[in-house]
């Protein structure tokens, strides 16, 4: 054995120890970076949830409820039937997605438990706005009274569906805020069970 052999291991060991410290630093730095990114994402998710919850809640209040929508529509439909082509109801075009439009590019940040209900609600809001625009056009005025009545009743039905979608979206946002993904999943299962019971058994 050479006299140099005992000394060969010293630089190798030093390099190994140094490399280990560098690797440990990379691991810690990577963990800290991921933790910071996760924290920022969680904060942004909360901000987006809060904004959407507020906008949806305001829109739901403006929609009243199913009974009030029916009470509002009833005299209008009665007048449309009584006056025929002589009466065309005024249909306002509402834009109830201002905040959603601003954060649409970030919608992917939402968890799967809330993104689907939110998108379903705002898709309905936009469908209502599109129908309202059609009902303000000259083509609507040129339709037969019965056809106009059918479209108006569809318009009211779509608003009722928006109520259901909006309530579900805000319920899911609340569940996620209180208990995270697990609580939101539990709420989704509960809502599905209620919906199944409400629909009743299917026919033969």
**With bands split at pLDDT 50, 70 and 90, how would you rate the model's confidence at 10?**
low
Token pair in block for residue 146: 């019965």
Is the pTM higher than 0.85? The answer reads no
Contact partners, residue 162, CB within 8 Å, separation at least 6? 59, 63, 121, 124, 125, 128
Per-residue pLDDT of 17-68, as tens digits, reads 666 566 656 665 555 667 777 788 899 999 999 999 999 999 999 999 999 9
Q: Contact at 8 Å (CB) between 110 and 118?
A: yes
Give buried/exposed letters for 138-175 (b at 16+ CB in 10 A, else e): eebeeeebeebbeebeebbebbeebbebbbbbbbbbbb
Please state, in angstroms and rounded to a whole number, the distance separating the CA atoms of residues 120 and 113: 12
Rounded alpha-carbon distances, angstroms, from residue 78 to 30, 84, 159 = 68, 10, 19
């Amino acid at each position: 054995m050479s006299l140099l052999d005992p000394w060969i291991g010293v630089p190798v060991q030093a390099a190994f120890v140094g490399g280990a410290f560098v690797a440990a630093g990379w691991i810690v730095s990577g963990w800290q970076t991921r933790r910071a990114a996760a924290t920022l994402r969680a904060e942004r998710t909360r901000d987006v949830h809060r904004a959407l919850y507020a906008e949806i809640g305001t829109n739901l209040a403006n929609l009243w409820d199913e009974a009030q929508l029916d009470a509002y529509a009833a005299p209008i439909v009665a007048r449309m039937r009584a006056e025929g082509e002589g009466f065309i109801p005024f249909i306002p075009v509402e834009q109830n997605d201002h905040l959603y439009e601003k954060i649409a590019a970030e919608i992917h940040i939402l968890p799967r438990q809330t993104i689907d209900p939110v998108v379903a609600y705002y898709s309905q809001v936009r469908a209502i706005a599109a129908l309202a625009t059609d009902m303000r056009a000259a083509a609507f005025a040129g339709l037969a009274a019965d056809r106009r009545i059918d479209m108006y009743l569809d318009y009211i039905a779509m608003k009722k569906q928006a109520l259901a979608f909006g309530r579900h979206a805000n319920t899911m946002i609340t569940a996620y805020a209180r208990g995270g993904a697990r609580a939101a999943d539990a709420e989704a299962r509960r809502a599905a069970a209620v919906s199944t019971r409400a629909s009743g058994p299917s026919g033969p």
